[in-house]
């Protein structure tokens, strides 16, 4: 009887995580991350903020921002994704203590994350979204839920000085998203330096 061996694939159904490089711009797939989508009731902001501080060790994010930190529960990031809605990422299982302050659903299999960086990153991203990513408007620590080429994404500015952003988008549109990103990069930066995508 033949033996079968399962082999893990990256989020874009590749053997290796996606990586692309152009003049002044590069991007790579974020691996090993759990994802949860959450919401709180209209009067639950205070309880949620207290739970985040107690169990994760950092302040809950305000509107259009993200917050992150390292605690005994692991490293987590919480991104504000709308009115009383949050997008949380972590390297470990869901942190105990937050379930009583918010309603979260595990969506780890439904989202792909990439990090983009470089002096031309804003020029590339502005071809895909209408968000004003200028540092004076979207500084380090900013976050937004917005359409990229008509596909919903969550973007967080990790470093305005180097132009580093983390973008999460739905797995169902991953191939289209990456295709649009690569076309925008080629348009803004010239031919790929990483041997295609």
Q: Are 118 and 185 in contact, with CB atoms under 8 Å apart? A: no
pLDDT of res. 59 = 94
Task: Compute the distance between CA of residue 190 and CA of residue 193 in angstroms, rounded to an integer.
Answer: 9
pLDDT in tens, 119-131: 999 999 999 999 9
pLDDT of res. 8 = 53
pLDDT of res. 87 = 93
pLDDT of res. 5 = 63
Starting at the edge strand found earlier in the chain, the sheet holding 111-117 runs 19-22, 25-29, 111-117, 164-170, 151-159, 143-148
pLDDT of res. 56 = 92
Closest to 104 in 3D by CA, of 55, 150, 168, 40: 40
pLDDT of res. 107 = 93
Residue 155 β-bridge partners: 144, 167
pLDDT of res. 92 = 82
pTM for this model (two decimals): 0.89
Q: What is the mean pLDDT of each run of 10 residues along the chain (197 residues)?
A: 59 76 96 92 91 93 94 88 91 86 92 96 95 96 92 94 96 92 96 77
pLDDT of res. 13 = 60
pLDDT of res. 166 = 97
pLDDT of res. 183 = 96
3-state secondary structure (DSSP) of residue 52: helix
pLDDT of res. 64 = 95
Q: Are 65 and 140 in contact, with CB atoms under 8 Å apart? A: no
């Amino acid at each position: 009887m033949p033996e079968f061996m399962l082999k893990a694939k990256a989020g874009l159904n590749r053997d290796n995580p996606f990586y692309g490089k152009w003049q002044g711009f590069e991007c790579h797939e974020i691996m090993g991350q759990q994802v949860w989508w959450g919401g709180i009731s209209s009067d639950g902001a205070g309880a949620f903020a207290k739970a985040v501080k107690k169990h994760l060790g950092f302040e809950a994010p305000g509107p259009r921002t993200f917050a992150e930190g390292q605690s005994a529960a692991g490293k987590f990031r919480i991104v504000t994704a709308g009115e009383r809605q949050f997008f949380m990422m972590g390297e470990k299982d869901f942190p105990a203590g937050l379930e009583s302050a918010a309603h979260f659903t595990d969506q780890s299999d439904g989202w792909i994350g990439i990090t983009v960086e470089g002096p031309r990153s804003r020029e590339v991203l502005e071809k895909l979204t209408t968000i004003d990513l200028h540092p004076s408007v979207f500084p380090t620590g900013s976050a937004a839920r917005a359409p990229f080429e008509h596909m919903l994404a969550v973007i967080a500015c990790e470093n305005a000085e180097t132009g580093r952003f983390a973008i999460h988008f739905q797995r169902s549109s991953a191939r289209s998203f990456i295709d649009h990103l690569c076309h925008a990069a080629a348009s803004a930066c010239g031919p790929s330096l990483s041997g295609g995508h």
